[in-house]
Amino acid sequence: MTNAVKFMVMGETYVPVDFMTAKEADNPAVSHLTPRERQVLEGISKGKSNKEIALDHDIQEVTVKLHVKTLCRKMGAKNRTQAAMMARDQEMV
């Protein structure tokens, strides 16, 4: 608890190690992703463009962009690359 407070006082974000290493069922950030967001996350994890993901799932490219934005926010990722790396590291895809 003391370390968490020290991080926050320094302006950092504290995330418990258990949270970062949790599987999908134990990870609240992942469990809050919609099925479509999970599909988009899988696509970006495979290195696909928004256009390719949109074609794969018969949705508009702008819809994919929206899903990328919301899943990054939910996961705490700064961008699609970080989200893909987090998904890979946490064995979500």
pLDDT digits (tens, 9 = 90+) for 43-90: 999 999 999 999 999 999 999 999 999 999 999 999 999 999 998 888
What's the rounded Cα separation, in Å, for the pair 62 and 40? 12
- Assign a CATH topology to domain 2-89: Arc Repressor Mutant, subunit A (1.10.10)
* CA distances in angstroms from 80 to 14, 16, 41, 59, listed in the order given: 22, 23, 8, 18
How is the chain split into domains, by residue range? 2-89
Q: What is the pTM of this model?
A: 0.66
What's the rounded Cα separation, in Å, for the pair 76 and 92? 15
Residue among 72, 75, 90 nearest 18 (CA): 90
Q: Which residue has the tokens 């190690």?
A: 17
